[in-house]
Structure 1
Amino acid sequence: MALSRIWSGFIIVAIVVACVKCFFFGQTDLFNWMVIGKADDPANPLKLDGIIETCWIAVDLCIKLVGTLALFMGLMSIAEKAGGIRLLSKIVGPFFAKLFPDIPKGHPSMGHMIMNFSANLLGLDNAATPFGIKAMESLQELNPNKDTASNSQIMFLCLHAAGLCLIPVSVIAIRSAQKASDPTNIFIPCLIVTFAGTMAAMLIVSFKQKINLLQPVILLWILGISAIVALLVWHVHNLDTIGIKSFSGFLSGGIILLIFLIIVLGALYKKIDIFDAFVDGAKGGFETALKIIPYLVGILVAVSMLRTSGTFDVVMLGIKNIFMFFGADTRFVDALPTALIRPLSGGAARGMMVSTMITSGKDSFASNLSGIFQGASDTTFYVVAVYFGAVGIKNTRYAIGSMLLADLIGVITAISMAYLFFGNVK
């Protein structure tokens, strides 16, 4: 119900803004742009897509997702039949048993969730999605009310959306492609912001579900993760730009290949039919991709209408005027479009980040902050649409509100980190 109201609100607001701009400011082409886009408009550097083009993009995205889903779901099937998921469940069991009290001991969903979190940690979005969908399917097996999100599904999705990421590979790659003088300088701020967002999500959902986070097992795990984050910050702080790029690429790519190797070797040791197990799991990738198309089309069309109608421009202008009225520093406002659209669409947020680098300067304060926003959290509404859509959840309960609150804390932390690290940059 919450997603239905939000989606309806996006469409209504976009059309109202477009009507105001059309009838009061003479922008008579706006209605046509909203439908067919203005990607071919030479005066439009953002290459905005209209409703029709966005529908094609959504389907194209799902088709491309088929291969990734097939690969990782196939590998997941091998790991399950070889007993690897059960082993992983036992390792994380003591911690997850407290954080997810409704999940039985040793349930495969624990292993699926830890695979998803591991992919997120390494900035591997393409790997995280199939692992996450598999985790949601496992949790759905335990859900007594199939069209309503369970407590475990909400906790998992909120932690996933908070996006704890040790290595923001995609952000560094984009900044490098745009010729930023130091494309890796957002590494530590992104790490701190995603850690803060994840802790916020855990606290918010735990408070709602009445989970006591002061239990020794939870505290030990949180302290352990905090220590790893601190060590990584210390190590990266001592590397130069080339060293950081080399380290991030080696760690992210190396670990995913190591996971592949461990799964195959474990399957050989257990003497299972590896390729048949892979094919059985991979078949689910195609079915899942088809299942999420309607949800993805709906979300992306609403986002497209907000962008082409100029709603984001109106919001930005209002925020900037408010801070100017109070005499506050407004440098951060130029990066806010990335933060505002990030919960809605990862691709659109990347476009906003690149646009900020072009208009404000590739090494400007706004450019650096935009990079932190891009690496700070996952796309909330995309995650809700795809993950809940994959298992047929209609009533998301308090999931969206919890994720947006964690996003807000992440945005505030990101702005604070930007002033701490780049405060002397114009």
Structure 2
Amino acid sequence: MVLSRFWLVIFISSIVFVVVSLFTGNNYSVDFILNGKKDDPVLISEKYKEQLPEFIRDSIEKAPEQTIVINKVESNADTTYIFKNKTVKIYSGVQKTDGLLPTCKNTLLDLILPLIAYLAFFCGLMQLLIDSGASEKLAKKLSPVFVKVFPTVPKNHESISYMTLNFAANFLGLDSAATPFGLKAMQSLQELNPDKDRASDAQIMFMCLHAAGLTLIPTSIIGYRAAENASNPADVMLPCIITSFVGTIAAFLVIGIRQKINFKSASLVVTLMTLIAAIAGLMLYIGRMDLVEKNLFTGNLSGLMLVGIIAFTLVFSFIHEKKFTELNTTIFDSFVTGANNGLKTGVTIFPYVLGMLVAISFFRNSGLFEIISNGISFVFSHIGVSKEITDSLPVAMLRPFSSGGSRGFMIDSMRTFGPDSFTGRLSCIFQCSAETTFYVIAVYFGSIKVKNTRYTLGSMLLVDLICVVTAIFVASWFF
């Protein structure tokens, strides 16, 4: 209900803002909001050539193809004059994100189709884990801890193994694997849910822990920093690990208090201390490496782990081939069955993802998001927050809405202020330590058709806020 109302608010408010801007002259056209593409120049006016200053008219007549560019400043988009069909069209600035119709198209071609392919492959592997008995054995090993965190989940339930694989994939930065594992976990938890339209406690806890996204190897962030010629692309690794770890603990505490979980459980304490010790050990190990060794380690660990998961699944299935015979199937047929289920899941979540991304597209292109972002930055700057921090806040603000949008701001901040600046580094930590909250809720709950998400959205946004505050303190400590 909360998500539905929020979706309506950002959609309707954006539409109202666009209409008002059009009639007050702030926008010349609404076509870019409907049909424009990201980074396209925005049409701000159209005039007859005679209405332009004389020096511009002369420049247009002398220019090749009667097109000129003025006010060339690298940090801002150029103002372009194009003479065509007796009028001069004036463009200035670039579009923040794709318009409504391109978003619809790109959601299917660039997001859903690749996602369906990932889902089909990894759901095929998960079916092998189920039919071979591997998921059951994994669930038995981890049940003592999971029954404390998820008290409504029966001991040895298959959802435990799916959640474990999801957390492990997030931990290693394997986004393509994490989503299929997470969707399978939500579907498995839905079987235990007595009210199919309402999110269960276990589903909310899993969603928030998943969204906190404890990450060990932020490979994509390191790659973007390397592309921007950072002196040490991996120098944000430890801040990212610390911030995401604090976010994960915060998510557990926020939801645990709401669900009255027993925090004094010995198994929980032991597991938490073991996790802290493991992360600290890895941080010390990585900290002793030089730049080349760090790049080699971070570049290969995640890939090797993914290959290891695939190899283990296939080898375990081969060793326990009798299990498949008992089920009157083969290893390959089992994989195909799982892949087919992944395909169906991808088709199911498409409308939910589309609805959310179109609303976000409208919100950003309307200019309303930029006004809110600038307003918040203005307030923060007048209460003593340094400009280095306020310059990176757009990444933190946009991250819950759009991964691609916040990534664009992150890259822009590195290019504008430098990848080794405090702003550039903080933007990278923001990008790594928070989740695309609205997209994740739409995908995960949409896959099981849950309508009432209860307190999930508020809790996840609170955790996002905690991650933002933590990122600022950690970045200030390190840099």
Fold shared per TM-score above 0.5: yes
| Matching of residues 246-261 of structure 1 within 5 Å | 246-261=296-311
CA 1:45–1:27 in structure 2 vs 1: closer, same or farther (change >3 Å)?
closer
Give distance in 2, aligned partners of 1:276 and 1:160: 31
1:29-52 alpha-carbon deviations (Å, 9 max, x no partner): 3x2222122532183456521011
Say which of 91, 99, 102 aligns to 1:53. 102
CA 1:214–1:379 in structure 2 vs 1: closer, same or farther (change >3 Å)?
same
For the 8 Å contact 1:345–1:382, the answer to whether it is kept is yes
| Matching of residues 6-405 of structure 1 within 5 Å | 6-24=6-24, 26-29=26-29, 31-39=30-38, 40-41=40-41, 43=77, 44=93, 48-60=97-109, 61-271=111-321, 272=324, 273-405=330-462
Instruction: Give the residue type in structure 2 aligned to 1:11.
Output: F
CA 1:239–1:387 in structure 2 vs 1: closer, same or farther (change >3 Å)?
same
For the 8 Å contact 2:413–2:423, the answer to whether it is kept is yes
Range with bigger deviation, 38-47 or 7-16 = 38-47
**TM-score, normalised to structure 1's length?**
0.95
1:367 to partner: Cα distance: 1.1
Instruction: Give the residue type in structure 2 aligned to 1:299.
Output: M
Give distance in 2, aligned partners of 1:328 and 1:377: 21
Task: Describe the SS at the equivalent of 1:185.
Answer: helix
1:381-414 alpha-carbon deviations (Å, 9 max, x no partner): 1110001000110000001111111110000001
For the 8 Å contact 1:316–1:333, the answer to whether it is kept is no
Task: Describe the SS at the equivalent of 2:232.
Answer: coil
Give the structure with the larger strand fraction. Answer: 2
Range with bigger deviation, 312-321 or 337-346 = 312-321
Range with bigger deviation, 178-187 or 115-124 = 178-187
**Matched residue count:** 421
Instruction: Give the residue type in structure 2 aligned to 1:5.
Output: R
For the 8 Å contact 1:200–1:406, the answer to whether it is kept is yes
Instruction: Give the residue type in structure 2 aligned to 1:8.
Output: L
> What is the RMSD computed on CA atoms of the aligned residues?
1.5
Give distance in 2, aligned partners of 1:25 and 1:329: 34
1:24 to partner: Cα distance: 4.3
CA 1:419–1:20 in structure 2 vs 1: closer, same or farther (change >3 Å)?
farther
For the 8 Å contact 1:164–1:377, the answer to whether it is kept is no
What does residue 55 of structure 2 align with?
Answer: none
1:254-277 alpha-carbon deviations (Å, 9 max, x no partner): 111111111111111111321111
The structure showing larger relative contact order (alpha-carbon pairs under 8 Å, at least 6 residues apart) is: 1
Task: Describe the SS at the equivalent of 1:186.
Answer: helix
CA 1:58–1:156 in structure 2 vs 1: closer, same or farther (change >3 Å)?
same
For the 8 Å contact 2:3–2:453, the answer to whether it is kept is yes
1:179 to partner: Cα distance: 2.2
What does residue 464 of structure 2 align with?
Answer: 407
For the 8 Å contact 2:98–2:361, the answer to whether it is kept is yes
Over the matched positions of the two proteins, sequence identity in percent amounts to 45
Instruction: Give the residue type in structure 1 aligned to 2:362.
Output: M
Task: Describe the SS at the equivalent of 2:391.
Answer: helix
1:365 to partner: Cα distance: 1.5
1:362 to partner: Cα distance: 2.6
Instruction: Give the residue type in structure 1 aligned to 2:257.
Output: F
For the 8 Å contact 1:341–1:348, the answer to whether it is kept is yes
Q: Which has the larger radius of gyration?
A: 2
What does residue 5 of structure 2 align with?
Answer: 5
Give distance in 1, aligned partners of 2:9 and 2:291: 44
Give the structure with the larger helix fraction. Answer: 1
1:100 to partner: Cα distance: 0.5
Range with bigger deviation, 291-300 or 266-275 = 266-275
Give distance in 2, aligned partners of 1:157 and 1:224: 23
For the 8 Å contact 2:36–2:95, the answer to whether it is kept is no
Q: Which structure 2 segments of 5+ residues have no match?
A: 43-76, 78-92, 325-329
**TM-score, normalised to structure 2's length?**
0.85
1:138-183 alpha-carbon deviations (Å, 9 max, x no partner): 0011111111100100000010001111111111112222222221
Q: Which structure 1 segments of 5+ residues have no match?
A: none
For the 8 Å contact 2:213–2:434, the answer to whether it is kept is yes
1:6 to partner: Cα distance: 0.8
Instruction: Give the residue type in structure 1 aligned to 2:223.
Output: A
1:85 to partner: Cα distance: 0.4
1:50-86 alpha-carbon deviations (Å, 9 max, x no partner): 0111111111211111111111000000111111101
1:302-336 alpha-carbon deviations (Å, 9 max, x no partner): 11112112223212321232233234312111111
1:20 to partner: Cα distance: 4.9
1:283 to partner: Cα distance: 0.5
1:273-306 alpha-carbon deviations (Å, 9 max, x no partner): 2111111100011111110111001111111112
1:74-104 alpha-carbon deviations (Å, 9 max, x no partner): 0000111111101110111100011101111
What does residue 84 of structure 2 align with?
Answer: none
Runs of 4+ in 1 over 4 A off after TM superposition: 44-47
